[in-house]
Structure 1
Amino acid sequence: MILIGQYDSPFVRRVAIAMKLYGMDYEHRPWSVFSDADKIAPFNPLIRVPTLVLDSGDALIESAMILDYLDEEAGPERAMIASAGRARREALKVCALATGLADKAVALVYERVLHKEKSQAWIDRCAGQVERVLGVLEADRASRPTPYWFGDAIGHADVAVACALRFTREAHPQMFAATRWPTLIAHADRCEALPAFTAIVQPFNPPK
């Protein structure tokens, strides 16, 4: 398998860490959607990452789709999310909040570095969404005494939150104070200390 995209993307990194935790081998092509668009386009016409090219030549083009495939390959006993029911819905909700957080954090970066004319209304809207999501995730995690979000074993929710939080903290440090979201930050830091996380990391580098 070939994983396309740079690890400073919270979406690419989330997939790569899941593959590492599953023990799945892959070739990494750290292509940028800006400087390597012509390389990505044949695999993904949207020119988005992550893109996972299977050994069959088929390309999976969105992180949730990729993770669904990886879970299938890992099998129900090893999958890092419940297979059905309320437990699955709760985990998917945390994942959706985390990926939404990352999406808004990326949008703020693009507004800052790619647009000559800034929209303060858009900046305020995205920043407000980021803060509200962080507040919801902080309260949810603080209500759970288990080592990981949904028990004793790491799951997709843990990975998604940690990757989104690292990106947001690096891209927008002015938005963070450890006293505001202490449980959430402690959770992410615990994940970041794991070998799978330390092996797959790239400092945030804003697009130019």
Structure 2
Amino acid sequence: MKLIGSLTSPYVRKVRIVMAEKKLDYRLELEDVWAADSKITTSNPLAKVPCLIMEDGGAVFDSRVIVEYVDTLSPVGKLIPGTGRERAEVKTWEALADGICDAAILVRLEKTGAFRKDSERCQAWIDRQMAKVTEGLRAASAALDERAWCVGNTCTLADISIGVALGYLDFRFPEIAWKAEYANLAAHAEKLNKRPSFIDTAPPQS
């Protein structure tokens, strides 16, 4: 399999961590979707990464679909419960974590993107998205409480997803002091960041 992605996308990182936890082999093909010569639309008409190209050439996107698919490819480390309440809880954690990333990326694009002049950037829009990040962190901390894992008694996609979201905030928004406010999330992130799958997929710091 081939995974088209970037080293800085939290959604790509989520897929890469899942692939590592599942011990699946794949080839990472880096793609800059913002480049004028990007070929991403030949695989994903929405021009987004990640995009998984399977052995027969078929394409699977986006990250939520990819991780659900690859979790079925190996019995190693089941990350998404098959049915029931726990499955819904894991997928809700993923939605929450992805939502934090969605809002943070919109803030970054509004602040630094080349699509607007400085005079056109909207502070009200930035504030609205940052409020989603703030509420998302509050909700994640409350839901985790003092538990060792987000759902059940082992690492699942819920933990991976929120760990990736927290890592993205550290990467792009180091000024957000979420660790000081949410000690349980900080401890959880520290634990996850010691896993080889998180270490090997950490975004570049330069």
TM above 0.5, yes or no, is: yes
Given that residues 179 and 185 in structure 2 are in contact (C-alpha distance below 8 angstroms), is that contact kept between their aligned partners in structure 1? Answer: no
Aligned to 1:87: 86
Aligned to 1:18: 18
Aligned to 2:47: 47
CA shift for structure 1 position 188? 1.2
Equivalent residue pairs, number = 202
Q: Which runs of 5+ in 2 are unaligned?
A: none
Identity %: 32
Residues 1:142 and 2:141 are matched in the alignment: no
CA shift for structure 1 position 153? 2.1
Aligned to 1:105: 104
Which residues of 2 match residues 17-36 of structure 1 at below 5 A? 17-35=17-35
Which residues of 2 match residues 53-92 of structure 1 at below 5 A? 53-75=53-75, 78-92=77-91
Given that residues 37 and 47 in structure 1 are in contact (C-alpha distance below 8 angstroms), is that contact kept between their aligned partners in structure 2? Answer: no
CA shift for structure 1 position 177? 4.1
Given that residues 6 and 32 in structure 2 are in contact (C-alpha distance below 8 angstroms), is that contact kept between their aligned partners in structure 1? Answer: yes
Residues 1:7 and 2:10 are matched in the alignment: no
Residues 1:156 and 2:157 are matched in the alignment: yes
Moved more, 176-185 or 108-117: 176-185
Normalising by the residue count of structure 1, what TM-score does the alignment of the two structures yield?
A: 0.91
Distance 2:61 2:24 in 1: 18
Helix, strand or coil for the counterpart of 1:174? Answer: coil
Deviation string, structure 1 residues 25-75 (Cα, Å, up to 9, x no partner): 000011111127532111111110000000010000201110111122124
What amino acid does structure 1 have at the position aligned with 2:173?
A: H
Normalising by the residue count of structure 2, what TM-score does the alignment of the two structures yield?
A: 0.92
Given that residues 68 and 80 in structure 2 are in contact (C-alpha distance below 8 angstroms), is that contact kept between their aligned partners in structure 1? Answer: no
CA shift for structure 1 position 107? 0.6
CA RMSD of superposed structures (Å): 1.6
Given that residues 171 and 204 in structure 1 are in contact (C-alpha distance below 8 angstroms), is that contact kept between their aligned partners in structure 2? Answer: no
CA shift for structure 1 position 81? 1.6
Distance 1:36 1:3 in 2: 21
What amino acid does structure 2 have at the position aligned with 1:60?
A: V
Matching residue within 123, 129, 133 for 1:130: 133
Q: 1:177 to 1:38 in 2, by over 3 A?
A: closer
Distance 2:58 2:124 in 1: 41
Given that residues 17 and 160 in structure 2 are in contact (C-alpha distance below 8 angstroms), is that contact kept between their aligned partners in structure 1? Answer: yes
Distance 1:36 1:82 in 2: 41
Given that residues 32 and 38 in structure 2 are in contact (C-alpha distance below 8 angstroms), is that contact kept between their aligned partners in structure 1? Answer: no
Q: Which runs of 5+ in 1 are unaligned?
A: none
Given that residues 14 and 161 in structure 2 are in contact (C-alpha distance below 8 angstroms), is that contact kept between their aligned partners in structure 1? Answer: yes
